[in-house]
Chain A
């Protein structure tokens, strides 16, 4: 990733620094060129719009995961949380249009609650977040399985599914703009605002050196807990989009936590915290999806995707490790 530093002109505006955006933008550009060579149709507006719409959930999850990782923690529970939310939504909505909005609110609240529990257990009970969120993953999957007797029940209303499936039709130039893309843009803007706020900057300091942050008067536990809550809410929004896109499924969120973590790492955010940007994390998710699309165009088996994710995580740690020890 570090070898492809050929920033095009507009990127001069961005400062080249560790954890900066240059490597990920360069990677994205390379991927775009490769896709353009292999499958030029991909850039036709309908296909591009549908790609962006489908990538919205993982980009949102990456944004949520960014806050947790940059504060020095991990959230492994987001995939299970997405699955739980989709199954719960189907059972509560039970194909009844009138239940749609209450359930949407409930899901957002549920996501925030799971994040809060993750955060409090990690910060107040001092359980490493790896263990906390791994436990949460198992608890959520087990609880959902128990609650639904092992087979999803009920159904999602069309009103619920439209967020993930429908689109504004007949938009000039673009043709079809998925609702998911609008939801993504709104939440991405929100994520950037939060990341640039005092809270967002302090969070990086917390991840960089919690002791120093603590001594300079930051309530580390509170910041980290809020980061987990943000990740939980991001998972709730992603669940609404994913449930809308594919319907009720016990595997709706399977593997998403790794997708999100890989994306964040790819976007130049340091595992262990203290460095990175939320825009980088979201671009990382976009690059990862583009990479998978490219693999698909070349007929590479989908089974290799987890291998690629693993390689990226390893490579990212290997690349970032010497730098952090030299500081």
Chain B
């Protein structure tokens, strides 16, 4: 009897162990020795033309008010929207992929504040959170079509799976606005997003590879594989590292988790003695990576983060050699502005490419607001909105 119980217990434990620790296969690090500088094969998501276009946009001048980057457009291509003209006030509906990370939390608060700021023109704002599930979002969009929305804003959870749902929404005749992640159909009136992943990845990788000592060891930290906006960041970084001849000793997935990140960085410090540069595809765990060096008593090498305030503060306090490319949260304001312009029948740009500023040593002080919480994003463009700063705290 005892034996049966113990054996049963062991089997159950093993089953649980299997599903609880779903660590992604460390493919890139496994194949590291094969490729020249350790960056492995290029990502399937890499498209040379898009890469070239995004890098060109980094130097482009935006049109629109300079102090309101969420209204600016890079290389505008205006489309007519007269057929959507409608008398207000309007009912705006928003199908949101998820609220499951601080970036989306800050973004959504910014969007709510923008709705409040435009209160006289919006009679109702309906928000449905798909909680990161494709199936729920497909159902959400379908439900919203029956709710008499004047315009539909979609932030898709995944590109391919949500495309049919967005196509169906376009066919229903109301203006559809897509932002953040894209869909594989030209049917939305406009697709709003910043320059994009290639630009983000390139800026960080170029900085780190230029500042680290020649031939030094670089550790690349990625959140997870297979998401287009993150794959493009890595693929642009890979191009930069291959060009600079950097020795990429590891490409690891962190799941965006600080505990795991700190462990990984610590493992690499122990294994290699020193790490001379750290590149990451998203800044959420940059602080954990820096702490790993501090706790190991090692100098923090050149590193890139993002515009999250905890990282900016650490950067300033410890005098890091750092850079922070951004994926600005102010883009959450733009869909509301776009929706109202479309319902006015005014032309809007499609695609609506927003500028993507970079936090550097020179402008760090202007973005560092110590009164805001550590997980807030500096690039929220929200200081002029109702409820600032309390709403974001």
Which residues from chain A sit less than 8 Å from chain B, CB to CB?
Answer: 39, 41-42, 46-47, 50, 54, 74, 76, 79, 95, 130, 134, 149-155, 165, 176, 242, 245-252, 254-255, 258, 261, 270-272, 293, 296-297, 299, 301-303, 305-306, 309-310, 313-314, 317, 320-321, 324-325
Whether B23 and A293, one on each chain, are in contact in the complex, defined by CB atoms closer than 8 angstroms, is: no
Please tell me if B12 contacts chain A, counting CB pairs below 8 Å: yes
Stretch in contact with the other chain, from B2-10, B56-64, B155-163, B167-175:
B2-10
Q: Looking at A39, A41, A150, A270, which has the most chain B CB atoms within 10 Å of its CB?
A: A150
List the 9 closest pairs (A to B, CB-CB), nearest first: A246-B259, A150-B100, A306-B21, A251-B257, A317-B10, A272-B6, A301-B26, A255-B21, A271-B6
16 pairs of residues in contact across A and B, judged by CB atoms under 8 Å? A39-B270, A42-B270, A74-B9, A79-B20, A150-B98, A153-B105, A251-B255, A251-B259, A258-B21, A272-B3, A301-B29, A302-B23, A302-B264, A310-B14, A317-B10, A325-B3
CA distance A302 to B26 in the complex (A): 8
Q: Tell me whether A306 and B18 are in contact in the complex, defined as CB-CB below 8 angstroms, given that A251-B260, A321-B7 are known contacts.
A: yes
Please tell me if B374 contacts chain A, counting CB pairs below 8 Å: yes
Residues from chain B with a CB closer than 8 A to the CB of A309 are 17
Residue of B17, B262, B266 touching A310 (CB-CB under 8 A): B17
CA distance A323 to B261 in the complex (A): 42
Residues from chain A with a CB closer than 8 A to the CB of B12 are 130
19 extra A-B contacts, CB within 8 A, seeds A247-B259, A314-B10: A95-B374, A134-B16, A150-B98, A150-B99, A245-B262, A246-B258, A246-B259, A246-B261, A248-B258, A249-B257, A252-B259, A258-B20, A271-B10, A272-B5, A305-B21, A309-B17, A310-B13, A317-B7, A321-B6
Identity of the chain A residue whose Cβ is nearest the Cβ of B287 in the assembled complex: A247
Residues from chain A with a CB closer than 8 A to the CB of B26 are 301-303
Identity of the chain B residue whose Cβ is nearest the Cβ of A298 in the assembled complex: B271
Residues from chain B with a CB closer than 8 A to the CB of A154 are 373
- Say how far A256's CB is from chain B's closest CB, in angstroms: 10
Please tell me if B226 contacts chain A, counting CB pairs below 8 Å: no
Q: Looking at A41, A165, A293, A303, which has the most chain B CB atoms within 10 Å of its CB?
A: A303
Identity of the chain B residue whose Cβ is nearest the Cβ of A166 in the assembled complex: B295
Q: Tell me whether A246 and B262 are in contact in the complex, defined as CB-CB below 8 angstroms, given that A130-B9, A165-B291, A255-B20 are known contacts.
A: yes
CA distance A50 to B100 in the complex (A): 33
Binary per-residue interface labels of chain B (263-282) against chain A in the complex, 1 for a CB within 8 Å, 0 otherwise = 11011001101000000000
CA distance A299 to B272 in the complex (A): 10
- Say how far B272's CB is from chain A's closest CB, in angstroms: 10
CA distance A197 to B203 in the complex (A): 62
- Say how far B109's CB is from chain A's closest CB, in angstroms: 11
Identity of the chain A residue whose Cβ is nearest the Cβ of B259 in the assembled complex: A246
Please tell me if B35 contacts chain A, counting CB pairs below 8 Å: no
Please tell me if B288 contacts chain A, counting CB pairs below 8 Å: yes
Please tell me if B49 contacts chain A, counting CB pairs below 8 Å: no
Please tell me if B375 contacts chain A, counting CB pairs below 8 Å: yes
CA distance A299 to B268 in the complex (A): 9
Residue of A47, A151, A242, A293 touching B259 (CB-CB under 8 A): A242
Whether A155 and B374, one on each chain, are in contact in the complex, defined by CB atoms closer than 8 angstroms, is: yes
Residues from chain A with a CB closer than 8 A to the CB of B17 are 255, 258, 306, 309-310, 313
Q: Which of B287-330 contact A (CB under 8 A)?
A: 287-288, 291, 295-297, 310
Whether B9 and A271, one on each chain, are in contact in the complex, defined by CB atoms closer than 8 angstroms, is: yes
- Say how far A182's CB is from chain B's closest CB, in angstroms: 16
Residues from chain B with a CB closer than 8 A to the CB of A242 are 259
Whether A246 and B373, one on each chain, are in contact in the complex, defined by CB atoms closer than 8 angstroms, is: no
Identity of the chain A residue whose Cβ is nearest the Cβ of B297 in the assembled complex: A46
Whether B2 and A324, one on each chain, are in contact in the complex, defined by CB atoms closer than 8 angstroms, is: yes
Identity of the chain A residue whose Cβ is nearest the Cβ of B25 in the assembled complex: A303
Residues from chain B with a CB closer than 8 A to the CB of A270 are 6
- Say how far A141's CB is from chain B's closest CB, in angstroms: 10
CA distance A246 to B2 in the complex (A): 39
Identity of the chain A residue whose Cβ is nearest the Cβ of B9 in the assembled complex: A271
Residues from chain B with a CB closer than 8 A to the CB of A320 are 6
Whether B102 and A272, one on each chain, are in contact in the complex, defined by CB atoms closer than 8 angstroms, is: no
Whether B20 and A150, one on each chain, are in contact in the complex, defined by CB atoms closer than 8 angstroms, is: no
- Say how far A22's CB is from chain B's closest CB, in angstroms: 22
Binary per-residue interface labels of chain B (355-388) against chain A in the complex, 1 for a CB within 8 Å, 0 otherwise = 0000000000000000001110000000000000
Residues from chain B with a CB closer than 8 A to the CB of A151 are 99-102, 104-105
- Say how far B96's CB is from chain A's closest CB, in angstroms: 12
Q: Tell me whether A313 and B295 are in contact in the complex, defined as CB-CB below 8 angstroms, given that A246-B258, A246-B259, A306-B23 are known contacts.
A: no
- Say how far A166's CB is from chain B's closest CB, in angstroms: 9
- Say how far B25's CB is from chain A's closest CB, in angstroms: 6
Whether B297 and A165, one on each chain, are in contact in the complex, defined by CB atoms closer than 8 angstroms, is: no
CA distance A248 to B374 in the complex (A): 11
Residue of B105, B255, B259, B295 touching A165 (CB-CB under 8 A): B295
Q: Tell me whether A254 and B7 are in contact in the complex, defined as CB-CB below 8 angstroms, given that A155-B375, A165-B295 are known contacts.
A: no
Identity of the chain B residue whose Cβ is nearest the Cβ of A94 in the assembled complex: B373
